[in-house]
Structure 1
Amino acid sequence: MAEPTPPPPPPAADAAPKVAPKAAPPRNQALRMLGLPALPRKLPSRNWIIFWTISTAITAGIVYDKREKKRAIAKWSHVVEHLSKQPVPDMLGLAQPRKLTIYLSAPPGDSLRIAQDHYTEYVKPILAASGLDWEFVQGRREGDVRAYVAERVRRLRRSWDGDAELDPAKEPTKDEIIDLFRKERGIQEYDGVRGDVVIGRHTWKEYLRGVHEGWLGPLAPPAEPEPLPALEAPAEDKPAEDKPAEDKPAEEEKKPKRPAQPKPHNTTADYSSETLPDRTPGEFNPAAPIREPHLLGFLNTPTRLYRFFNRRKVADEIGREVAAVCLCTYREFHTLAPASDASPTTADEPQYEQQQELAWEEKDWLKSVWKEDDPASAAAAEIPERVRAKPIVMDPRIAERMRRFELSPEDEARASRIVVPEEEVEGWIKGKLRHLYQWGVSAAFEKKKLTPLEDEDVE
């Protein structure tokens, strides 16, 4: 017989009663009407705190540097903007205004676009605010700026000797056509200080080399080496007409896409033995070397990040230099004392300020700049002279005639008193919020002034 199932044991008397769940906290009505969830009542985790702290710090650094960079550019633009309001002296257009020359060239290891962006970001806004005219000299290869500066000086020397007539056998350049057009119509040259803006240490080196070559070198180009006599082809070789047509496109591809760069008319060793022309002016047009920091390489990331967060300092330094160019205040280049660690042979040689301008930029250049190329590779690259890897050699006669743009103490004091309004440097979001606030205040508290017609009831 099966035993009956025992009844379940009674519940323990000391068992804790079930606790009723807590009621949900009252939700913020404003957030509920906006469709937003309730705010959490606890701090985020440690990882989230680290993430938001780093992200906020980086964003704040970028926004602050960008705003202060705009403030520095706007400040120096206000310093020179009064020049744009001055009337043109010749209303008939028969006299040229002051025109600056901007020298750009591709930095070592990069393209010309980098130099163009640097100019557009830091230099162009101040030049545009001044209302001055300027022209570009852009070098895509090493030596292009050197060749242009030297040829420009030689053209001036030929005009003194009366040899500036166009050679019918040679195709005239763009500058020669413009000069001839102005002479035929009686347009006078600008009689005053122009000015050169040289961007980057690499361009500055080519600029100085071109100045020396133009003033000290001969007007005639160097003699070309005599070509080697052609070897007679063996009888068993096929004549040129029998070559297949497939070889002709390959030969055409070897032709250079750009015209060959003119060879220098002298070398740095020829400076002391050459004479200056009799009509050489006592002062050359002033120049302003503009810094162009350009650092490449993954291992240089910390330095590049530091420079990225301090672009406001670059904008302020470049703005000061460009403002001095626009205001046309300049001085002589100084002669520096020899360094204490200089060797006895170099201690007797004078050191000029031109040689030390922007010298710190050479530390950022690639190592390939300092390597000596084979003559065959240099000829293939069509660069007759490597200027950037060589030290700057100055002739005393040229050095004492050069001038440098520098801001005067009066202009420095005037610039320090300029206060840039916040509306010129604020971003899009802050500007929209400011306009919204001003609109709300004007709509709520400012009464509209009614004209007499609006104040009367018109039936």
Structure 2
Amino acid sequence: MSSNGAAPTAPQVQESGIKAALKYTGIPQSWLSKRPKLPSRNWLIFIGITSTVTGYYLYDRRQCKTIRQAYVDKVKHLAEVPLHSHDYPRKVTVYGAKWPDDEDSDRAIKYFRKYVKPILVAAAVDFDMVIGKRYGDISSRVADEIRSRRRLEAGIDPPKRNIIAKAGNHSPEAERRRELAGGIVLVGRPTFKEFMEGLRRGWSDGLEKVDREDKLARELESDGKFDELEEPSSPVDPESVGDGEPLPTKSRLPPSTGLFKPPYLRPLPVDKGSSSSSSPIPEQFNIPPASIPQQPPILFVPFTNYLGFLQVPHMIWDFFNQRQKVLSGAQCAYKLIESQTRPFEPTTDLDCGLDAEHYYKSSMKKYAESIEKIRTGYYKALPDKLKTARDLARGNREPTKDETNYPPPTEVELRAERLKKELRWRSDVSGWDIIKPEAPVAFDERFNGALEVFADPLDKETEL
């Protein structure tokens, strides 16, 4: 008989299934009896944002692969066409100028390699890449190449001889046909401006070879930066001292600049019988031609490089929208491969990539002033360096301990350093004057009929 007042015990629920099996595996009973519930508010926010960002990133990269593969499938049959053993594949020239205020000078070429090159490789199209390390490098290179070709065609320079015999036809006419069948790729607005300026200068300047370094050295020779400093006047009678010999006054001293001047900076003797403006080539070769020959077709690749804190939102947007760049690069490569061209239209084609100039850093507006500030500081410190170099060279004083351990530059080194700096400063400023937003794109009326651009293929590709 049960004791009085005892409460009846509830019947135990018989466990079965997976819970009964997991009970004997050592899993705590609290874990098995715990009922699931929704995460907290903060966890829901974190999971939602993380999954959305990750999903958008994965979707974008998957679309990039799909777009690229679709264009590769369109052109890969061209790589399977047999090529004669004496023939060469089609080759294009790719130019990439330095983006304003970007320390990485090959940013435009990196863009080409990532978004345009895969399609060209699939179609077996070869290419040469030209990188502008500093402002104005592309324009100088293009102008020099055009002048060299003009000198060769005018018979001023002898044709180049190939030491190693090559198979196939390498006549100037055949090389010219291959060049016209290739094309020119310009990545970004700065590259476009520099190329057009180089094209204009190459067909407008004379054929006389000008050594820029020698020309600048002669110009710097007369600015007086390396002249001897005047010594303070002595109270002693300058006409007679001691034995009656006159002191060497400034008028009696030989010029000291000739002793410490490097040979390549000394003035060359001038033949008085001939005019200094005479040219070693006939004057008619320095006259610009009335028309220019047909040029290879041009492909402009849009490119914008975001720099600075204020453009971080654009960087984030670009990171999650790489498919737009892949599509743009693939379309440009497809236009080049299809080789459908149209005449260059100055009214519209000169504005290619104009929107990209709005993203230049605001500090570039004072670029010329910053160069001038650096130049002023250099010339302010130059007299002290020059005095130290001359005192040590002439034995006027003994070198200090620091000067013995770390010898200061000599006058010859200071002259060479100054020439190098002036070349860089002037080249940078002239190059910036070409690509700055206020400067228009160089154009010559002779370009009409000589320039062509790659056009969209007639068969409109479907939107991806």
TM-score, normalized by the shorter chain, greater than 0.5:
yes
User: Residues 23 and 357 (structure 1 numbering): CA distance in 2 closer, same or farther, change over 3 Å?
Assistant: farther
- Tell me, in whole angstroms, the C-alpha distance in 2 between the residues paired with 1:29 and 1:383: 86
Q: Which residue of 1 aligns with 2:272?
A: none
Q: Which residue of 2 aligns with 1:436?
A: none
**Residue 194, structure 1, aligned to residue 182, structure 2:** yes
**CA-based RMSD:** 4.1
- Tell me, in whole angstroms, the C-alpha distance in 2 between the residues paired with 1:296 and 1:367: 10
- Tell me, in whole angstroms, the C-alpha distance in 1 between the residues paired with 2:135 and 2:448: 23
- Tell me, in whole angstroms, the C-alpha distance in 2 between the residues paired with 1:83 and 1:125: 14
Aligned with 2:446: secondary structure? helix
Per the TM alignment, residue 129 of structure 1 is displaced from its structure 2 partner at its CA by 0.4
Q: Which residue of 2 aligns with 1:119?
A: 112
Of 378, 391, 394, which aligns to 2:443? 394
Retained in 2: the 8 A contact 1:96–1:187? no
Aligned with 1:103: secondary structure? strand
Q: Which residue of 2 aligns with 1:101?
A: 93
Of 243, 265, 289, which aligns to 1:277? 289
Retained in 2: the 8 A contact 1:103–1:199? yes
Retained in 2: the 8 A contact 1:143–1:383? no
Q: How many residues align?
A: 342
Of 41, 51, 55, which aligns to 2:50? 55
More helix by share: 2
Per the TM alignment, residue 405 of structure 1 is displaced from its structure 2 partner at its CA by 0.8
Per the TM alignment, residue 400 of structure 1 is displaced from its structure 2 partner at its CA by 4.1
Aligned with 2:197: secondary structure? helix
**Residue 364, structure 1, aligned to residue 359, structure 2:** yes
Per the TM alignment, residue 231 of structure 1 is displaced from its structure 2 partner at its CA by 3.7
CA deviation map 1:329-361 (0-9, x unaligned): 1111224xxxxxxxxxxxxxxxx3232001111
User: Residues 406 and 186 (structure 1 numbering): CA distance in 2 closer, same or farther, change over 3 Å?
Assistant: closer
Aligned with 1:140: secondary structure? coil
* 220-229 or 75-84, which deviates more: 220-229
- Tell me, in whole angstroms, the C-alpha distance in 2 between the residues paired with 1:40 and 1:163: 93
User: Residues 182 and 408 (structure 1 numbering): CA distance in 2 closer, same or farther, change over 3 Å?
Assistant: farther
- Tell me, in whole angstroms, the C-alpha distance in 1 between the residues paired with 2:58 and 2:365: 38
Q: Which residue of 1 aligns with 2:81?
A: 86
* Amino acid in the other structure paired with 1:357: C
* Amino acid in the other structure paired with 1:398: F
Per the TM alignment, residue 367 of structure 1 is displaced from its structure 2 partner at its CA by 1.6
CA deviation map 1:386-430 (0-9, x unaligned): 2111221322221442111122222x3xx439x9xxxxxxxxxxx
Per the TM alignment, residue 291 of structure 1 is displaced from its structure 2 partner at its CA by 1.4
Of 146, 163, 167, which aligns to 2:156? 163
Q: Which residue of 2 aligns with 1:306?
A: 317
* Amino acid in the other structure paired with 1:52: I
**Residue 204, structure 1, aligned to residue 192, structure 2:** yes
Retained in 2: the 8 A contact 1:142–1:383? no
**Equivalent residues in 2 for 1:4-43 (5 A)?**
27=18, 41-43=36-38
- Tell me, in whole angstroms, the C-alpha distance in 1 between the residues paired with 2:295 and 2:338: 17
Of 340, 350, 365, which aligns to 1:329? 340
* Amino acid in the other structure paired with 1:393: A
Q: Which residue of 2 aligns with 1:381?
A: 424
Q: Which residue of 1 aligns with 2:462?
A: 416
Q: Which residue of 1 aligns with 2:305?
A: 294
Percent identity, aligned pairs only?
Answer: 25
User: Residues 134 and 59 (structure 1 numbering): CA distance in 2 closer, same or farther, change over 3 Å?
Assistant: same
Per the TM alignment, residue 64 of structure 1 is displaced from its structure 2 partner at its CA by 0.7
- Tell me, in whole angstroms, the C-alpha distance in 2 between the residues paired with 1:402 and 1:47: 61
Q: Which residue of 1 aligns with 2:64?
A: 69
**Equivalent residues in 2 for 1:345-360 (5 A)?**
352-360=347-355
Per the TM alignment, residue 180 of structure 1 is displaced from its structure 2 partner at its CA by 6.8
Please list every run of at least 4 consecutive aligned residues from structure 1 whose deviation after the TM superposition is greater than 4 angstroms. Answer: 15-33, 35-40, 179-186, 232-237, 374-378
User: Residues 186 and 314 (structure 1 numbering): CA distance in 2 closer, same or farther, change over 3 Å?
Assistant: closer
Q: Which residue of 1 aligns with 2:133?
A: 140
Per the TM alignment, residue 118 of structure 1 is displaced from its structure 2 partner at its CA by 1.6
User: Residues 321 and 22 (structure 1 numbering): CA distance in 2 closer, same or farther, change over 3 Å?
Assistant: same
- Tell me, in whole angstroms, the C-alpha distance in 2 between the residues paired with 1:103 and 1:147: 12
User: Residues 183 and 143 (structure 1 numbering): CA distance in 2 closer, same or farther, change over 3 Å?
Assistant: farther
CA deviation map 1:31-56 (0-9, x unaligned): 999x9987961111111111011001
* Amino acid in the other structure paired with 1:58: V
- Tell me, in whole angstroms, the C-alpha distance in 1 between the residues paired with 2:19 and 2:448: 76
Retained in 2: the 8 A contact 1:288–1:405? yes
Structure 2: segments with no counterpart, 5+ residues: 231-247, 263-285, 376-420
Retained in 1: the 8 A contact 2:193–2:442? no
Aligned with 2:195: secondary structure? helix
* Amino acid in the other structure paired with 2:444: D
Q: Which residue of 2 aligns with 1:152?
A: 145
Per the TM alignment, residue 142 of structure 1 is displaced from its structure 2 partner at its CA by 0.8
Per the TM alignment, residue 140 of structure 1 is displaced from its structure 2 partner at its CA by 1.1
User: Residues 301 and 232 (structure 1 numbering): CA distance in 2 closer, same or farther, change over 3 Å?
Assistant: closer
Aligned with 1:198: secondary structure? strand
Retained in 1: the 8 A contact 2:189–2:302? yes
> Taking structure 2 as the reference length, what is the TM-score of the superposition?
0.63
* Amino acid in the other structure paired with 1:416: T
Retained in 1: the 8 A contact 2:64–2:323? yes
Per the TM alignment, residue 116 of structure 1 is displaced from its structure 2 partner at its CA by 3.5
- Tell me, in whole angstroms, the C-alpha distance in 2 between the residues paired with 1:83 and 1:323: 12
Per the TM alignment, residue 83 of structure 1 is displaced from its structure 2 partner at its CA by 1.7
- Tell me, in whole angstroms, the C-alpha distance in 2 between the residues paired with 1:286 and 1:84: 22
**Residue 405, structure 1, aligned to residue 405, structure 2:** no
Aligned with 1:331: secondary structure? strand
* Amino acid in the other structure paired with 2:79: S
Per the TM alignment, residue 290 of structure 1 is displaced from its structure 2 partner at its CA by 0.6
Per the TM alignment, residue 363 of structure 1 is displaced from its structure 2 partner at its CA by 1.0
User: Residues 186 and 301 (structure 1 numbering): CA distance in 2 closer, same or farther, change over 3 Å?
Assistant: closer
Retained in 2: the 8 A contact 1:369–1:388? no
Aligned with 2:435: secondary structure? coil
Retained in 2: the 8 A contact 1:321–1:406? no
Q: Which residue of 1 aligns with 2:205?
A: 217
Structure 1: segments with no counterpart, 5+ residues: 1-12, 167-175, 244-250, 252-273, 336-351, 420-459
* Amino acid in the other structure paired with 1:277: P
* Amino acid in the other structure paired with 1:211: L
